[in-house]
């Protein structure tokens, strides 16, 4: 476990949610949050107050869709799935992230 948890960087939550749904298929919100935390080695803290508004926003944009289902614990939950439009957006998000991380690495590595 990481020594400390970090909040998800602003602007990256959409990318993380879309990628999680692409990789694992339909999931409920708690499952999405827990998967992101697990993959990060528990270094990222997924705030439920941030995640659920993001899921609503992604659904309103047509990047994900949702339907009610039953969890493995026999509880009712909303399951989210990536749409075709969401798959296209994921590629855009991945390209934007790669470009920005390259720029930041360049700036941090610049010597005077």
Output the CATH code of domain 6-109. 1.10.10.10
pLDDT value for 11 = 74
Residues 38, 18: contact at Cβ < 8 Å? no
How confident is the model over 79-98, as pLDDT tens digits?
999 999 999 999 999 999 99
Structure tokens at 109: 């590595």
How confident is the model over 20-61, as pLDDT tens digits?
999 999 999 999 999 999 999 999 888 888 899 999 999 999
Residues 77, 68: contact at Cβ < 8 Å? yes
CA 56 – CA 21 distance, rounded (Å): 15
Name the residue with tokens 């920005």. 100
Taking the domains of the chain in order of start, what are their residue ranges?
6-109
Nearest partner of 40 among 66, 13, 73, judged by Cα: 13
**In terms of pLDDT, which residue wins out, 51 or 8?**
51
Mean pLDDT of the residues in the chain: 91
Residues in the chain: 112
For 95, the 3-state DSSP assignment is helix
pLDDT at 2 over 60: no
| Average of per-residue pLDDT across 71-79 | 93
Nearest partner of 29 among 44, 47, 8, 7, judged by Cα: 47
């Amino acid at each position: 476990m990481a020594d400390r948890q970090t909040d998800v960087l602003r602007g990256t939550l959409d990318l993380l949610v879309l990628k999680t749904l692409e990789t694992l298929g339909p999931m409920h919100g708690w499952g999405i949050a827990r998967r992101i935390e697990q993959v990060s080695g528990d270094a990222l803290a997924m705030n439920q107050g941030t995640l659920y508004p993001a899921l609503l926003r992604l659904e309103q944009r047509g990047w994900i869709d949702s339907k009610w289902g039953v969890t493995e614990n026999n509880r009712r939950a909303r399951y989210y799935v990536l749409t075709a439009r969401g798959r296209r957006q994921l590629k855009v998000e991945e390209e934007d992230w790669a470009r920005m991380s390259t720029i930041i690495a360049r700036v941090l590595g610049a010597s005077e």
